């Protein structure tokens, strides 16, 4: 589900172009295979919609429903450079307030790290018949030793996002991070996340109390959990089954704030997202040594697709 202002920009796009939205520069693509919107603030995918053969928008004869995309974005984002709630924010080089790789003397760095508020540069946009591949890197240096880059691939079947970290310094660094994906769902409190049964988890709403997931996870209210899992999961919202695979991640975070919504989230759309995040957290921090690199990636496909 994306805001109507973003929908209008996509409707005006044929091929690829840059456009301004909510004070940010976006890279928009509307091609035979589908649609993609990426914010250069944060190298953040905001929207992805593959066109299925035979659909009206695949032939250019219709506009997809507002909620057809796989990702959710708030209609009232904070002004730039505030973090954009929605899509796939890149949390780097730490997850939440863990501040693992924070270099500030008092470890007072921002929640989820500086990458999602930073401006990124589009280094390459490779287009081919089946889809598109974007390469982005931050304009400013975000860490003294670690350098991130992002790769985004989209085609008619899948969305794939990579966050690569290279260690170009001299001393080992402990980092964490997340691909903080906001999936569009019909009702967050009627969703099921399959693939976590038997996994140990920390419940952030219970002071990080440790539990083991009994059976599959059904969501009925606020939830903030870090699962110890490197498995792929399926998000079923009773309308669509999204398969979320990942690499370089031994933590899966599942989050929805319930009815106590953040100020940038209107009540009427507050139940229309669920975060399922490929992450590295306090359960599986990454120790990067000089010269090494780490790949955190997610691949999202739809089980219902032909
Ligand atoms: O509002 P933010 O900074 O995007 O973070 C949202 C949430 O992100 C999740 O990843 C965390 O598990 C939550 O604890 C947090 O509240």
99 CA distance to ligand 1 centroid (A)?
13
What pLDDT, on the 0 to 100 scale, is given for residue 52?
Answer: 79
Q: What is the pTM of this model?
A: 0.96
54 CA distance to ligand 1 centroid (A)?
38
In whole angstroms, what is the distance from residue 145 CA to residue 128 CA?
35
170 CA distance to ligand 1 centroid (A)?
31
Both tokens of 120, joined, read 């990124």
| Residue appearing with tokens 């270099």 | 103
For residue 269, count other CB atoms closer than 10 A to its CB: 19
7: Cβ below 6 Å to ligand 1?
no
The predicted complex's ipTM stands at: 0.98
- Please report, for residues 117, 118, 204, the alpha-carbon distance to residue 174 in angstroms, rounded to integers and kept in the order given: 21, 21, 21
> For the chain, where are the alpha helices, taking DSSP H only?
4-11
- Using the atom order of ligand 1, give the atom closest to the CA of residue 178: 10
Given a cut of 60, is residue 2 above it in pLDDT?
yes
Both tokens of 81, joined, read 């450079």
188: Cβ below 6 Å to ligand 1?
no
Tens digits of residue pLDDT in 40-81? 999 999 999 999 766 656 555 566 655 689 999 999 999 999
Among residues 159, 185, 181, 299, which one has the least CA distance to residue 241? 185
**3-state SS class at 117:** helix
The matching CATH number, chosen from 2.70.98.10, 2.40.70.10, 3.90.1150.10, 1.10.3980.10, for 4-302 is 2.70.98.10
Tens digits of residue pLDDT in 70-129? 999 999 999 999 999 999 999 999 999 999 999 999 999 999 999 999 999 999 999 887
Q: In 29-67, which positions are buried (b, 16+ CB within 10 angstroms) versus exposed (e)?
A: bbbebbbbbbbbbbbbbbbbbbbeeeeebbeeeeebeee
């Amino acid at each position: 589900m994306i805001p109507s202002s973003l929908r209008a920009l996509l409707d005006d796009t044929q091929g690829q172009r840059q456009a301004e939205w909510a004070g940010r520069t976006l890279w928009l693509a509307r091609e035979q295979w589908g649609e993609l919107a990426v914010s250069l603030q944060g190298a953040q995918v905001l929207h992805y919609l593959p066109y299925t053969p035979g659909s009206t928008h695949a032939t250019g004869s219709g506009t997809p429903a507002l909620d057809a995309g796989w990702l959710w974005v708030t209609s009232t984002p904070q002004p730039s450079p505030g973090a954009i709630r929605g899509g796939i924010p890149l949390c780097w080089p730490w997850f939440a307030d863990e501040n693992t790789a924070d270099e500030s003397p008092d470890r007072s760095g921002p929640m989820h790290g500086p990458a999602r508020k930073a401006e990124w540069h589009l280094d390459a946009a490779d287009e081919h018949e089946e889809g598109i591949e974007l390469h982005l890197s931050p304009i400013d240096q975000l860490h003294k030793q670690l350098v991130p880059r992002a790769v985004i691939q989209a085609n008619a079947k899948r969305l794939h996002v990579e966050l690569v970290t290279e260690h170009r310094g001299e001393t080992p660094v402990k980092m964490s991070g997340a691909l903080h994906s906001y999936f569009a769902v019909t009702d967050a409190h009627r969703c099921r996340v399959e693939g976590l049964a038997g996994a140990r988890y920390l419940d952030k709403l219970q002071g990080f109390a440790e539990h083991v997931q009994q059976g599959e996870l059904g969501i009925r209210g606020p939830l903030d959990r870090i699962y110890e899992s490197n498995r792929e999961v399926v998000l079923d919202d009773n309308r669509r089954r999204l398969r979320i695979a990942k690499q370089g991640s031994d933590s899966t975070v599942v989050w929805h704030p319930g009815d106590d919504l953040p100020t940038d989230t209107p009540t009427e759309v507050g139940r229309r997202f669920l975060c399922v995040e490929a992450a590295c957290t306090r359960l599986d921090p990454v120790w990067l040594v000089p010269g090494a690199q780490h790949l955190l990636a997610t691949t999202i496909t739809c089980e219902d697709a032909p």
